[in-house]
């Protein structure tokens, strides 16, 4: 059996053969006993509470590992990784966050009147368990040749061209052909969005709505649990 839940912002918790936490800036705390903490990039809304998680090996790009170590995480818990590596049930894939791109810097200056914080080298993560889960951070493009059972879809409101932006997110989801979509990132202050909107865009993928535990056994979802 494997279970998965959305903990707020970009944070997803997976408990199965291994206990995995992705992008720990949670609004609901994870369960104890985390084994691996996967970081897609170094923005605060993705790593903001990493120091609050008392267990687990951190998997991230080398430059992000340096940022994390400066937050007081002992080096014994930090493991730099590269795309193509496999660590138990976690496959590391290239990342496509736009945080280091000129367009992102420009939009940050336009909307927030400041330079963005360093994002580091982004990564994506594919977790293979009872079913497979893909997390690409907050990327809206990710040309990865994988077909996960669950895709963590970063759903949010864009300050420019919101309708087109969301249509592109649905195209991204369709490119992976998942059975399930788990909306994430929709509750970040300043870019909140209604995850139920996704149901208007697709009928081929089931949308896992709410901050619940979704349980899977023999590749089938059979129940949900509240926190």
The predicted-structure confidence for 40-54, as pLDDT tens digits, reads as follows 999 999 999 999 999
Asked whether the beta carbons of 17 and 129 are under 8 A apart, the reply is: yes
For residue 224, pLDDT over 90 is answered with: no
Owning domain of residue 133: 2-225
CATH number at residue 165: 3.60.15.10
What percentage of the chain exceeds 90 in pLDDT?
78
- The count of domains in the chain is 1
19-27 average pLDDT score: 97
Helix, coil or strand: residue 174: helix
81-105 average pLDDT score: 83
For residue 116, pLDDT over 80 is answered with: no
**CA–CA separation, 29 and 104 (whole Å):** 30
Helix, coil or strand: residue 166: helix
C-alpha pair distances (Å), 142 with each of 89, 97, 174, 176, 190: 21, 9, 12, 10, 24
For residue 115, pLDDT over 70 is answered with: no
> Residue 79: which H helix or E strand, with range?
strand 78-80
> What pLDDT does 221 receive?
74
The whole-model pTM stands at: 0.91
């Amino acid at each position: 059996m494997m279970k998965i839940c959305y903990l707020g912002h970009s944070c997803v918790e997976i408990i199965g053969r291994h206990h995995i936490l992705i992008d720990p800036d949670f609004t609901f705390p994870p369960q104890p006993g985390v084994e691996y903490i996967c970081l897609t990039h170094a923005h605060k809304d993705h790593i903001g509470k990493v120091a609050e998680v008392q267990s687990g090996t951190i998997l991230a790009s080398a430059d992000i590992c340096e940022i994390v170590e400066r937050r007081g995480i002992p080096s014994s818990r930090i493991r730099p990784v590269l795309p193509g590596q496999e660590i138990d049930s976690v496959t590391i894939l290239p990342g496509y966050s736009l945080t280091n791109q000129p367009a992102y810097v420009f939009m940050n200056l336009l909307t927030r009147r400041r330079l963005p914080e360093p994002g580091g080298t982004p990564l994506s993560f594919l977790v293979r368990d009872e079913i497979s889960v893909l997390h690409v951070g907050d990327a809206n493009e990710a040309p990865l040749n994988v077909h996960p059972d669950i895709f963590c879809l970063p759903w949010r409101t864009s300050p420019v061209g919101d309708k087109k932006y969301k249509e592109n997110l649905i195209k991204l989801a369709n490119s992976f052909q998942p059975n399930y979509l788990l909306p994430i990132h929709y509750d970040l202050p300043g870019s909140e969005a209604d995850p139920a909107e996704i149901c208007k865009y697709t009928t081929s993928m089931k949308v896992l709505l709410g901050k619940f535990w979704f349980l899977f056994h023999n590749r089938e979802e059979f129940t949900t649990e509240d926190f």
